[in-house]
Chains A and B, each alone.
Chain A
């Protein structure tokens, strides 16, 4: 039998010894497939976009003294020499996908000491309040200190404004999940905002710089339910802007939100 015929007659049966040429081809094909798959993995992994500069230090508990507020969302006004006016606002959330309004409500308008882990992104801070019973303690500060921290007056800006961006759940977006936005995060964001975490709207300018807006309804109340359907989708919102201390607040009419 000629060599050509031998090659032609080589036949693979799984439970019999594999003919040499068949084996060689199978090895080459297997190596090619594994290498091709690895190449796909390298390309896909290396082309992922940056999730942003968010951080969440879960290993270190941080304590803040300040004025607790729950209107419209749980937040803490603290002294901050780097902020204009010397006061900045830290949004408060609970562990998991929950807001902290129920926890903070008994302390509304009072000076407190709160312990938790801090999330940071682009100068915005959020505190995940520790679940320990003594994580929120009532303080008895001097009157002058309390007046410094008093709720910031509202100052209206241009009205109405049209903004393009994304409705986000800020806990994940600021640092709990990276990335914590976009379509793949939508269901998680719905769970977070549905659980009481305040919704925010984020816009990006042409250089990729982001601006954050705390979202409330037109009457200034919490907008969680209204924001849920639009989380994770690119949207355009026509609303009214106001400045509350260091917080940009966007008052929305849910009927004036359009998916892009």
Chain B
């Protein structure tokens, strides 16, 4: 949430988050380098440049796995939300580490030759038509380009100016990037190293990412399966079951998820998708009288779906009325920011 743009809106959480990322990356690189030196020394020592290439490569792929696992973990349990809060910094770090890997490879493997290193990169070992020798570096380049686009557009400036939908579509390409990285490793490093531990580790990583996404998808599907038909008025059920300051998610056929919030005896209904990054508002809370997104803390007033001044974000609201003690919803969405008088639990008469 912002009315202007700064490079990073630092909070204590973000500082701690970034400290852990930076410390973790440096510790990983140091441990890898030290173990590599201890494993093979003397005449059998691995070149420092190659150790660095490998340390950066395995660090980047490990970071990418963590980035991809945090999303579904946070969907499965809100306790992982602190890891999601500043995930974009983890993504940018992944890009920086991968870019460093690419630069060292470019200088070491493609430098010192008869052609410019970039020319070498795009002319040596790029023939996809040779059976049994699929090129792998070009796959890594493609993955790095995607990571660069994701890192460059990670700021809220792009989110605002590209629209949340376009931004999300672009950032879903992280899965294409992941597939390219796996192919890059499978057709590259795994063809050179003989230990079976490497394909096993890669398989564990792919399985973990896939399993977590499937589990999160199944959870979402269960929520969606309880959708009501898109009739004139939808009974929201017994709203007294909703704890004060919290919400439940309702699905109406043909509509995005709807969040039914309770604040005291008042019921307000908004579209359950945050205007920021599409966070699940129904899993949020009411804090200081505002609906608060669980992902990044963006806030909206329950009655009109507008962010409190000076912020200007708006989300869709829905018309409500009471019918014999039940809260009824008109599934037709109102324009974002439209004021709707909250329904009251237990009130027998129409409110609106």
Contacts and interface: CB of A to CB of B under 8 A. Distances in A.
A191 B11 contact: no
A188 interface: yes
Contacts of A184: 136, 188-189, 191-192
Interface in A128-165: none
Interface stretch (B127-135, B233-241, B266-274, B305-313): B127-135
Given A186-B125, A259-B131, A13 B297 contact: yes
Interface in A17-50: 18, 22-23, 25-26, 29-30, 33-34, 37-38, 40-50
A183 B58 CA distance: 17
Contacts of A8: 243
Contact of A183 (B20, B33, B108, B136): B136
A182 B192 contact: yes
Interface stretch (A51-59, A68-76, A107-115, A212-220): A51-59
B5 interface: no
B175 interface: no
Interface string B59-79: 100110010000000000011
Nearest to A53: B43
A230 B110 CA distance: 18
B32 interface: yes
B198 A44 contact: yes
A178 B40 CA distance: 11
A38 B26 CA distance: 10
Nearest to B189: A184
Contacts of B201: 40, 43-44
B86 A37 contact: no
A125 interface: no
B249 to A, nearest CB: 16
A43 B86 contact: no
Nearest to A230: B133
B332 interface: no
Nearest to A42: B35
A229 interface: yes
A15 B288 CA distance: 13
B114 A195 contact: yes
A105 B296 CA distance: 69
A173 interface: no
Contacts of B83: 26, 29-30, 33
A52 B80 contact: no
A229 B44 contact: no
A14 B297 contact: yes
B13 A18 contact: yes
Given A43-B201, A97-B113, A187-B120, A14 B47 contact: no
Contacts of B194: 49
Contact of B188 (A12, A50, A183): A183
A88 interface: no
A45 B29 CA distance: 10
Given A34-B27, A37-B66, A22 B114 contact: no
B85 A12 contact: yes
A41 B33 CA distance: 9
Contacts of B81: 12, 22
Given A37-B66, A51-B44, A178-B47, A191 B115 contact: yes
Contacts of B54: 44-45, 48
Contacts of A42: 31-32, 35
Contacts of A229: 127, 130
B137 A41 contact: no
Contact of B27 (A14, A16, A38, A96): A38
A51 B40 contact: yes
Contacts of B80: 29
Contact of B13 (A14, A46, A48, A195): A14
A44 B121 contact: no
Given A45-B35, A45-B36, A191-B124, A34 B20 contact: yes
B121 A47 contact: no
A162 to B, nearest CB: 18
Interface of A: 5, 8-9, 11-16, 18, 22-23, 25-26, 29-30, 33-34, 37-38, 40-55, 95-98, 177-179, 181-188, 190-192, 194-195, 229, 232-233, 259-260
Given A12-B78, A47-B193, A184-B192, 18 more contacts: A9-B246, A9-B285, A13-B292, A34-B23, A34-B27, A37-B28, A38-B31, A41-B59, A43-B201, A45-B39, A51-B45, A51-B47, A98-B113, A183-B133, A183-B192, A191-B113, A259-B131, A260-B132
11 contacts: A12-B78, A14-B14, A14-B85, A14-B86, A33-B24, A51-B45, A51-B46, A179-B192, A183-B133, A186-B133, A187-B121
Give 9 nearest A-B pairs by CB, closest first. Answer: A182-B192, A45-B35, A183-B191, A191-B113, A96-B112, A26-B82, A187-B124, A259-B132, A13-B297
